[in-house]
Every structure is written in structure tokens, then in C-alpha cells.
Amino acid sequence: MAKIDLYDPKWVDMVFDGKNKSYGAFQLRKGTSSRNIKSLIILVIAAALVGGFLAWKVIEQKQAEQQAAYMEAMELSKLQKEAKKNEKKEVIKPKIEPKKEIPVARQTQKFTAPVIKKDELVKEENQIKQMDKLDDKVAVGTENHEGTKDRNVEAVRNDIAVNTPPPAPKEEVTNKVFDVVEVMPSFPGGQGALLSYLSSHVKYPVVAQENGVQGRVTVSFVVERDGSITDVHVVRSVDPSLDREAARVVSSMPNWQPGKQNGSAVRVKFNVPVQFKLQ
């Protein structure tokens, strides 16, 4: 038996050869080929449209995820710039010790340098008088007082400035929480690793999903001198369930690289955004 091409209308003439072609079945069968071709064309077009729509949705979802990651990175950078603007640098004033003043030694006796002169040129009041020639007004005490053994008196004049520089203040590590320091704390692996950690560890609360709640929660915390995370609290709220989940994820982060000021590890305040988005 020869093969019959069902899309070729000649097979209808063969079937209805010698029969009543005015019957409705002939007209119906004669249009079968064109209908099949139209159906195939429509099916191909519909499949192409559906495939194109699905591909467009996949591309749109990837673009949305990339846009969300970019916005989170920009938000994190914006928060750090705002913290730098609000920074008040602590000025450590050197401790200047007051100048010690040594009182000038008082002159307790008159000292005249010996000069050899003739007897007639020496004034009478400058001559050393003998005991029996002293005036009656001069009294000689009977009590003995021990004098100073060391007569080398060191005196310092008040008008002489001491050019000794003040000692440099000792660097002290305090418990102050800084907003911005010379070396900011960092998540192990960098900013990209931080965003990846937050997105992979967030568990969307069921209550928030059922109510269609989504948004970005900003969480503040302190990176301690050993890199641990403390003082976690929400500074920009969206929903209580989302706030609790964001605080939980931030609290579970591994230790950071601590911030440093003047070469020493210090406590630094840090803010991160946690994104919640329904698919």
C-alpha cells in the first residue's frame, strides 16, 4: 500500500472517487489539511510565545536579584558615609605638668671681696673691730646654733624658662565606642561575603509571608576589640517578625576583623541592612 500524505488534499479525491461529492462529508474532509496546517502553525506560535515569556521572567528575576544586591551595597556604603560625617574625633590633649619653681636663695650675709688697700684708704665702718671696741648695743648670745654643713646653695631664677618638652601622653585603650576609625572593622571575606551570609541565613517568617510583608531592616551592632558582635538592636524597623529575624541573623555572624585606632583595636559601631523580599 502506498504511503498517503494526510496533509495533501488529493487523498480526499481518492477516497470520494465515484461517490457523491455534494455530501457534506467531502467538503469537511477536503478542508482537513488546511486546518491541520493552521493548527500546527498556531501551536508553534503559542509555544514560542510561552517560551519567550518564561525566558523573559527568568531574566527579569535575575536582574531584580542583581538590582537588590546592588541597592544593598549602596545602602551599606551610604550608612558608612553618614557615620563619617557625624564623626567627632577625640582630641587627646597632652598633660603638661606645672613648672616647679625653686625659690631664690636669700642673701643672709654681706660678702665683700678682699681688696688690698693702704690703711689710710680703708673706711672705719669696713674695718673688723676688736671685741673690746664693740658698742654696748651689740649683744653677744650665750646659746650656740649649729650652722649648715653644705654651703653650696643651688638657686634657680624665676625668669629663666626651662626648655624641657612635656612628656608625650601615654596611649590608653578605653571602652569608648567609635563611629569611624582609621581602620574600619570588616566581615571575613569582605562586603560581598557579608551580603551573601545575610541572604543565605535569613529565614522568612511565615506570618510575614502570609501577610505579604517585605522590606529592608537596618540593624546596628558593636564590633568588639576581639571581633565579637554585641549590642545588637534594630534602628530601622519594618515589622516585629522581620525585626526579630534580622537581629537573630546579625547576632549569629562570625567574628569580624576588629577596627583599629592609632594601631590599637577599639570598639566600633556598625550598621547593616537586611533585605526581606517575597518571591
Distance of alpha carbon 115 from alpha carbon 87, whole angstroms? 76
Q: How many CA atoms lie within 13 A of 114 on its CB side?
A: 2
Measuring CA to CA, how many Å separate 251 from each of 20, 222, 246? Answer: 88, 10, 9
For 275, phi and psi rounded to 5 degrees?
-90, 130
Residue 205: per-residue pLDDT? 92
Tens of pLDDT along the chain (279 residues) come to 455 555 556 666 666 666 656 655 655 665 666 777 788 899 889 888 888 888 888 888 888 888 877 888 788 877 877 777 766 555 566 667 676 666 655 555 555 566 666 666 666 666 666 656 655 555 555 566 666 555 554 444 444 444 555 554 444 556 899 999 999 999 999 888 999 999 899 999 999 988 999 999 999 999 999 999 999 999 999 999 999 999 999 999 999 999 999 989 999 999 999 999 887
The pLDDT value recorded for residue 160 is 46
Q: What pLDDT score was predicted for residue 242?
A: 93
- Nearest to residue 276, comparing CAs of 221, 206, 220? 206
C-alpha to C-alpha distance for 273 and 75, rounded to whole angstroms: 7
Rounded to 5 degrees, φ, ψ at 69 are: -65, -40
Give the pLDDT score at 156: 46
**What pLDDT does residue 143 have?**
62
Task: Please state the domain extents for the chain.
Answer: 54-89+175-276
